[in-house]
Chain A
Amino acid sequence: MSDPLVTVAGPATAGMVTLRADLADPAVAAALAAQGLPLPGRRAIRDGDGGRAAAWMSPDELMLFCPPDDAPGLAAALAAALREIHHLVADVSDARVLFRLSGPLAAQREVMAKLSPTDLAPGRFEPGEMRRSRLAQVAAAFWIGEDSFRILCFRSVADYVAGLLATAAAPGSGLALWTRA
């Protein structure tokens, strides 16, 4: 009873590169492939090589994750590869921060269900999908990686999100939806 429902880690930083382009253009997939990155489908987040991953943000935008020092290089390489098509690439590593929940996945789902108007039931939200939504009053994206919710939000509201997560995870406040009371 005195333990929080889940453990919250963060805010942490990561390498992040935004790519905006017509994702259907074969040049995009090729440029990504050359960087060891898959082209994720709608709402998907997919791992690539070397600690990289690609996430679908909108029909013409991807978020690429990589080790922190990697981002400027990745951005430069993509920009070079996409020179011929209309695109935008930027290293945005500093714009956002990441949180990570740990503990029973069912409990993590419950903590998130207090904050986001998203159906997080098992089977409804599973690894491989990244959902852009909100946590209480701020925009956030989240997905499940290695049995852990990862939460991406803007840097300026990191304290607020940390506060939300800590409050939602307060001991004894489980929802008994996917965990048993």
Chain B
Amino acid sequence: MLLLTCPYCGIAAEETELAPGGAAHLTRAGPEASDAAFDAYLFLRDNPKGPHLERWRHAMGCGKWFLAARDTVTHEVYGTYPAQTREPPAEVVARIRARHPGWSWRSAG
């Protein structure tokens, strides 16, 4: 039963107050995208065994989407941050790397 801090309200919200939303930092593939790019965007979601950047909505709260860096094995939370960003903040990456040296999110499974 996770506890994630909503970066907008500052509340450590329990999982039941949140709605999960899958992998974060997707880049939308529009009508011009190739079949492969579109397939990748829609279906080939990050599914790493380890640090994962993911979306959550504070559904039973402020209603905002935010992003979390969470380890899918240990549930360690390396940080939560607002959804309006194309990549994870440096300090979150640093925290992940402290635990998983050499980690980089684009290459994560």
- Within 8 Å by CB, do A and B touch in the complex? yes
Interface on A for B, CB 8 Å cutoff? 42-43, 57-59, 61, 117, 131-134, 139
| A58 adjacent to B11 (CB under 8 Å) | no
Question: Of residues 64 to 101 in B, which have CB atoms within 8 Å of A's CB atoms?
Answer: 64
What's the nearest-Cβ distance from chain A to residue B59, in Å?
8
Find the A residue at minimum CB distance from B61: A132
| A58 adjacent to B9 (CB under 8 Å) | yes
| A117 adjacent to B64 (CB under 8 Å) | no
| A43 adjacent to B60 (CB under 8 Å) | no
User: Which residues from chain B contact A131 at a C-beta distance below 8 Å?
Assistant: 11
Cross-chain contact of A59 among B11, B14, B64 (Cβ < 8 A): B64
| B64 adjacent to A132 (CB under 8 Å) | no
| A133 adjacent to B60 (CB under 8 Å) | yes
What's the nearest-Cβ distance from chain B to residue A157, in Å?
13
What's the nearest-Cβ distance from chain B to residue A42, in Å?
6
| A139 adjacent to B10 (CB under 8 Å) | no
Interface on B for A, CB 8 Å cutoff? 8-11, 13-14, 16-17, 59-64
What's the nearest-Cβ distance from chain A to residue B62, in Å?
4
With A58-B8, A59-B8, A132-B9 given, is the CB distance from A117 to B14 under 8 Å?
yes
Q: Give the complex CA separation of A124 and B8 in angstroms.
A: 19
**Cβ-closest 5 pairs across A and B:** A58-B62, A134-B60, A117-B14, A132-B61, A139-B60
A interface, by DSSP: helix, strand, loop or mixed? strand
Besides the contacts A59-B62, A132-B61, A133-B60, what 14 more A-B pairs have beta carbons closer than 8 Å? A43-B9, A58-B62, A58-B64, A59-B64, A61-B63, A117-B16, A117-B17, A131-B11, A132-B62, A133-B17, A133-B61, A134-B16, A134-B60, A139-B59
Q: Give the complex CA separation of A58 and B57 in angstroms.
A: 12
User: Which residues from chain A contact B62 at a C-beta distance below 8 Å?
Assistant: 57-59, 61, 132
Q: Give the complex CA separation of A150 and B29 in angstroms.
A: 46
Q: Give the complex CA separation of A133 and B62 in angstroms.
A: 9
What's the nearest-Cβ distance from chain B to residue A146, in Å?
24
Q: Give the complex CA separation of A147 and B35 in angstroms.
A: 61
Find the A residue at minimum CB distance from B12: A119
Find the B residue at minimum CB distance from A57: B62
Q: Give the complex CA separation of A139 and B58 in angstroms.
A: 11
Q: Give the complex CA separation of A43 and B12 in angstroms.
A: 13
